């Protein structure tokens, strides 16, 4: 993981930055499953309350060049500026960029009923919708390819680390343990 590519979402009068970043990330997610087998990670270098306007891909030079050659940005080129693959700067720190999920009250009820721990009536009383945890993390919204529902992928940038941790990334380019360079 010695190179990176920045993909910046450009301002557009018709589409908001968040919508464009969601579309960009959805395209990235689809191509990542097919092309890199867990070798490319992602970060959002300008994240804050929102994820910002830049998607940074981290990987080896061959993997990043392979991604650029497969034309996965078709339809997004007018809305983005893509850098050439560049080496990671010397002295970069490292961090984990991971997906965070909160179990919904509905899912907790379903599990309790399926396991026989509670009846449907007990589950409704003991696990009310108010028990639902709300995450205060930035996220991308995608359409689920399995059921078509809109879903949020909450993303957390972990603390800075001085040493990298090798491993693989999910089909979202995220990992709970593998680090990406941070600069």
Of 143, 141, 157, 170, nearest to 44 by C-alpha is 157
Judge whether 29 counts as a catalytic residue. Answer: yes
Of 36, 48, 10, 20, nearest to 141 by C-alpha is 20
Q: What is the DSSP letter of 15?
A: S
C-beta of residue 101 within 8 angstroms of C-beta of residue 154:
yes
Phi, psi angle pair for 67, to nearest 5°: -60, -40
Q: How far apart are CA 117 and CA 174, in angstroms?
A: 34
Alpha carbon 171 to its chain centroid, in Å, reads 9
C-beta of residue 54 within 8 angstroms of C-beta of residue 45:
yes
- Looking at 29, 58, 106, 157, which residue is catalytic? 29
**Which active-site residues does the annotation give?**
29
């Amino acid at each position: 993981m010695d190179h990176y590519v920045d993909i910046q979402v450009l301002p557009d009068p018709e589409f908001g930055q968040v919508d464009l970043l969601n579309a960009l990330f959805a395209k990235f997610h689809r191509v990542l499953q097919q092309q890199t087998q867990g070798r490319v990670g992602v970060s959002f270098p300008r994240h804050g309350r929102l994820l910002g306007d830049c998607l940074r891909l981290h990987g080896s030079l061959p993997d990043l060049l392979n991604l650029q050659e497969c034309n996965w940005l078709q339809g997004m080129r007018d809305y983005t500026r893509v850098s050439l693959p560049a080496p990671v700067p010397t002295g970069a720190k490292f961090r984990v960029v991971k997906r965070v999920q909160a179990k919904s009250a509905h899912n907790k009820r379903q599990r309790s009923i399926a396991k026989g721990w509670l009846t449907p009536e007990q589950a409704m009383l003991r696990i009310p919708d108010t028990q639902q945890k709300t995450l205060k993390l930035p996220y991308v919204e995608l359409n689920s390819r399995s059921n078509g529902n809109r879903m949020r992928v909450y993303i957390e940038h972990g603390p800075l680390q001085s040493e990298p941790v090798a491993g693989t990334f999910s089909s979202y380019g995220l990992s709970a343990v593998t680090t990406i360079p941070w600069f």
